[in-house]
Structure 1
């Protein structure tokens, strides 16, 4: 069997299958655990914002309980592996707080605590948090964790290879021809497999089944050195301008990680301005000495807030998909491995119906459609905007980029810190949409499908298969 994509979902799935005796090959277009999983905030928790009251009201208590059980099981699975296999990945137990700053939202927290407790989760209501932020109420989950995801996954890969698993990096799968067996076309040759798992963050295969049901979104992240130790637990503020933060243990001390300012891909405006607002939040609440790193993270959201894990379509037996983690991929990536190992092994799994990619969305989730539909239309229009033609490039300071139209061609122009220019096609190679410049992530981003490219045009996220073509243009600044 073949697993496509070597993030936490793909590596977990491949490892669990290999440990059961299956013959598995793992194919990765870039390098293992360096793309989406490599840029995660690495919170291992059942605390997924204010989710459980919503799930009970939308799916009913039985399915909400399954969601809680699946993520709790994944947390325990990861903790057990770290302990029994002595994995050195900074796996640290901590409490997780979801807090609100205003008294008006206190009722939402109270309802969430009641919902979580009804589902059997160890949740409690508190009116104060041990962190220097404004919090009028919070839900606390004890026994959660944070860790170094790459170190954890490299240990799983070691187990995978010891059991005969084969890993191929820099091997992009471009097509799947279903049959008995399936044939996977790669840029290096062909792979034959009885079962296929598409764990590429967003499915490149059967994408039209998912393009109207999943939306790409981004958050921006910084790390900082602080005067003294940062708070030791996990924190997430619920609301439209949410922030989350946690400590990062390193060999040189503990850093603070802060993320926030979520927005649909391509609709964030000036992403460096968003990053500066995150920096302002950090410096206003913590004794920050130095901002050490900045980056952008991306994930896909489903219409009903529950990931898709299972058969990719009703007519594609033995081809499976994993997508739509909505920024909670550490536990759900492990859930995917556990669930798919059962499905491929011919065993029943109580979570199967909840995560079924071919499920009919609950009627109560339809009230989310107007907002999701509005975002989808905005992203579609952004991706198909008509740029005005110009004879010269706009002024760009070093370190900046912009999508422009010159002599009838849409181009992505970037000027590096040395003042040298990079020019690439400004059109997504997958959807044909016009790209946007993400200054915070230093990338060209597609608002239609979430494909992301480096300043030189190389694909590093999303369903795109081909890099952007480089252009040799003579830049005359206006």
Structure 2
């Protein structure tokens, strides 16, 4: 089974093994391009650059698909989460049309990869339905339908929808799609290696210097390149993008139904947060996949309740026989509705980034791969200015903000805290985590199923915000910029690139806390 950045198992990781990269043969450690991040964006970009004749190295801190690609629900859509009404308002009519064309090109790029490399990933085209459930939503849907049509995406009024959920009006968009994301990414990775690309997994980037060339320090050695691409969902370190991308958690379930009423198309309601539905067949078994109950990362006190609410919603409308998989995943909402793809703000021109996809990571990953490839090849693109990360203007005091916050104070280094002094932890239940006060300082403490305590500093190593316990995924999540850590403080998700400080507790068990 594949692993992922949380305790819950997704349908995709449950049906795939960990990717086995070819042994890296390094004649020298200099590459044309280094791509950081082994999700769909990183692998797609690496393959396209390698096809263009560049010598590429892909570095992944864990293994391919460990992050959001392994937790997506894999809707491939040009009917976007940020409606074309908002895109037109923020960017103008012509740019709205450019966005629509960019995502159409992204879908064609996915289809081209599947056809060219004979990828068996359960890809199929489908229609997408967006439906309203009250009078206010009806009016909003009419506006969205008009703007979507003006953008060049063909939509029609629909008299029925593919899911048995009450609705008042609906629109249908043709030419959408779905697939198994890990099977797609793994096939592209094999193609990348076949044409000479190098993949190194379990290799975390720990530092980057950009002088005459980009020098990359990692847990697996030192590498150099002319260009570097951050395909890490959000760039590490401290950057203006962290103030413009809001981290969210979304919840998903893959269920078996009592009957054969698995819908073949995609569907979305207009609630806030909205619910989304589709079907995917894996190894001959259809699964009905639904998602929703989104909230900002670290802002739900009971993440297990989000799963309970989603299951209750499903059982209200669908004949659920069994919940086969349930999982949550992270995405980043951009401030103005469009992703940031291009040169990383505040960095020299040879460092690139792709982030802020919202809920449309599958389609924007291909947009990013093509756009960044063109930029590295110094080819023109009509989308470059539209998605340019440097459309963000610096904020007053940002440099001082970085200076003040970038270095995390180590409070517990070399200390070994004794059990008797932590009696207030005795009421922690197994699998529970909590922030507690200890001698005027905070500790983040988790008790595992065996009663062993795991303690770390609660201060995120990105910008020192206090982390919060995620009971569903058993992780410490930062509500400020979305960094996530496991119970022992190891980084699961950036932008943090350093682990939480671990606190020595000696022999700490539930029994020792009860005198």
Instruction: Using structure 2 for the length normalisation, give the TM-score.
Output: 0.83
For the pair 1:39 / 2:58, whether they are aligned, the reply is: no
Does the 8 Å contact 2:117/2:191 carry over to 1? no
> Does 2:361 correspond to 1:326?
no
Alignment of 1:60 onto 2:60: no
Shift of 1:47: 1.6
In the other structure, the counterpart of 2:329 is 297
Instruction: Kindly provide the CA deviation profile for residues 396-446 of structure 1, in whole angstroms up to 9, marking residues without a partner as x.
Output: 333332222234443333233444433333222222221101122221101
Cα deviation, 1:28-74, whole Å, max 9, x if unaligned, reads 11101221111111111112235111111221111011111111111
**Shift in CA distance, 315/420, structure 1 to aligned 2, threshold 3 Å:** closer
CA distance in 1, matches of 2:487, 2:288: 28
On the 8 A contact 1:36/1:461 being kept in 2, the answer is no
Query: What SS is found at the alignment partner of 1:133?
Result: coil
Alignment correspondent of 1:368: none
User: For 1:257, what is the secondary structure of its paired residue?
Assistant: strand
1:97 is displaced (CA, Å) by 1.4
Tell me the distance in 1 between the aligned counterparts of 2:339 and 2:43: 18
In 2, distance between residues paired with 1:241 and 1:121? 24
Alignment partners' CA distance in 1, 2:482 and 2:83: 24
- Shift of residue 317, structure 1, vs aligned partner: 1.0
- Of 424-433 and 217-226, the range deviating more from structure 2: 424-433
Residue 198 (structure 1) aligned with residue 230 (structure 2): yes
Counterpart of 2:203 in structure 1 is 171
What displacement does 1:4 show? 0.8
1:259 and 2:291 matched: yes
SS in 1 for 2:372: helix
Match of 2:492 in 1: 460
Provide the rounded CA distance (Å) in 1 between the counterparts of 2:293 and 2:149: 29
* 2:263 alignment partner in structure 1: 231
Q: 1:182 to 1:360 in 2, by over 3 A?
A: closer
Partner of 2:277: 245
Using the TM superposition, name which of 184-193 and 397-406 deviates more. Answer: 397-406
SS at match of 1:358: helix
CA contact (8 A) 1:393 1:406 kept: no
- Given that 2:345 and 2:389 are in contact with CA atoms closer than 8 Å, whether structure 1 keeps it comes out as yes
Greater Cα shift, 414-423 or 142-151: 414-423
Contact kept in structure 1, 2:82 and 2:337, CA below 8 Å: no
Aligned residue in 1 for 2:164: 132
Query: SS of the residue aligned with 1:14?
Result: helix
Q: Matches of residues 307-386 of structure 1 in structure 2 within 5 Å?
A: 307-313=339-345, 315-360=347-392
Give the corresponding residue for 2:476: 444
8 A contact 2:342–2:389 mirrored in 1:
yes
Contact 2:137/2:270 (CA < 8 Å) preserved in 1?
no
- Match of residue 250 from structure 2: 219
Q: 1:95 to 1:447 in 2, by over 3 A?
A: same
Structure 1: state its 5+ residue gaps: 362-379, 381-388
Q: Contact between 1:127 and 1:136, CA under 8 Å: does it hold in 2? A: no
Q: Are the aligned partners of 1:393 and 1:477 in contact in 2 as well (CA < 8 Å)?
A: no
Q: Distance in 2 between matches of 1:275 and 1:15?
A: 36
8 Å CA contact 2:88, 2:95 repeated in 1: yes
On the 8 A contact 1:241/1:261 being kept in 2, the answer is: yes
In structure 1, how many angstroms separate the alpha carbons of the residues matched to 2:514 and 2:472? Answer: 23
Among candidates 102, 105, 111, match of residue 73 of structure 1 = 105
Q: Report the CA distance between 1:360 and its aligned residue.
A: 5.0
Contact kept, 8 Å, 1:8 with 1:33, in 2: the verdict is yes
- DSSP 3-state at the match of 2:53: coil
What does the per-residue CA deviation read over 1:111-155, in whole Å, with 9 as the maximum and x for residues that have no partner? 111111111112112243121112212221112111111111111
- d(CA) in 1 for partners of 2:59, 2:299: 32
Cα distance, 1:220–1:239 mapped onto 2, change above 3 Å: same
Distance change >3 Å, CA 456–CA 225, structure 1 → 2: farther
Are 1:391 and 1:407, in contact at CA under 8 Å, matched by a contact in 2?
no
Aligned counterpart, 2:401 = none
The alignment's C-alpha RMSD in Å is: 2.0
Task: Give the structure 2 partner of residue 8 of structure 1.
Answer: 40
Counterparts of 2:319 and 2:448, CA distance in 1: 32
Aligned to 2:53: 21
Cα deviation for residue 249 of structure 1 reads 1.1
Aligned pairs for 1:87-166 (under 5 A) are 87-166=119-198
Task: Tell me which residue corresponds to 2:316.
Answer: 284
Matched-pair contact (CA < 8 Å) for 2:234–2:242:
no
How many residue pairs get matched?
451
